[in-house]
Chains A and B, each alone.
Chain A
Amino acid sequence: SYELTQPPSVSVSPGQTARITCSGDTLPNQYSYWYQQKPGQAPKLVIYKDIERPSGIPERFSASASGTTVTLTISGVRAEDEADYHCQSADSTGTYLVFGGGTRLTVL
């Protein structure tokens, strides 16, 4: 089965830059997506098509892709950014969707 791998947790101080990685074999050939999920809430799309930001998402959220790894970067982290972040992609055929295990971002 196809898998995406994320670190379980990342911690940063306010104002610093947080980087969350997601690795998977088909990421060079399939788009990646990132979701922010706060406790008790549904996931919210923050990045689509590898690097695009939906309207209403702050510019401090950005992403990059290199080979089999994609990275979500949050610049100037704020307390309100504390949440779980999930990457998502698809298998090589684009048929089956897959999520990473999620990364808890803690703002110290």
Chain B
Amino acid sequence: QLQESGPGLVKPSETLSLTCNVSGGSISITNYYWGWVRQPPGKGLEWIGSIYYRGTTHFNPSLKSRVAISVDTSENRFSLKLRSVTAADTAVYYCGRHRRVAAEREFDYWGQGTLVTVSS
């Protein structure tokens, strides 16, 4: 299971910080990455970025300059930081696990999602 946690309200220009706790299995598994996906209200899904348990990261080019993802294998969790947020960053943020072996890239487990609103 995956569970997101973090503030539901962030002020413009500040940093959005979320954590995804992984339970029922180890985050340190081969062939899987741990990722963040967001969904603005009434809109589609947008991949933010992903991390391997050893620390390798990949980010959506459109967000790369503002995003950091880290992993804590001792706590079995990974985290997202998104800097300089605006109202356009208001969305439900999901954490998930996706395969990364050969050409396989599907998300097979998702958290329930957490709504983050950017407003003063």
Contact = CB atoms under 8 A, between A and B. Distances in A.
A61 B47 CA distance: 24
Contacts of B35: 97
Q: Which of A44, A86, A88 has the most CB of B within 10 A?
A: A88
Contact of A42 (B58, B62, B105, B111): B111
B72 interface: no
A76 interface: no
Contacts of B37: 99
A44 B35 CA distance: 15
Interface string B27-46: 00000000101000001111
B109 to A, nearest CB: 9
A56 B43 CA distance: 27
Interface in A43-71: 43-45, 48-49, 54
Contact of A102 (B45, B108, B113): B45
A45 B45 contact: no
Nearest to A89: B105
A33 B45 contact: no
Contacts of B60: 96-97
Interface residues of B, number: 25
A3 to B, nearest CB: 11
Contacts of B105: 30-31, 33, 88-90, 94, 97
A43 B58 contact: no
A44 B111 CA distance: 11
Contacts of B110: 42-44
A97 B47 contact: yes
Contacts of A41: 112
B98 A1 contact: no
B88 interface: no
B106 A33 contact: yes
B108 A98 contact: no
Interface of B: 35, 37, 43-47, 50, 58, 60-62, 94, 96, 98, 103-108, 110-113
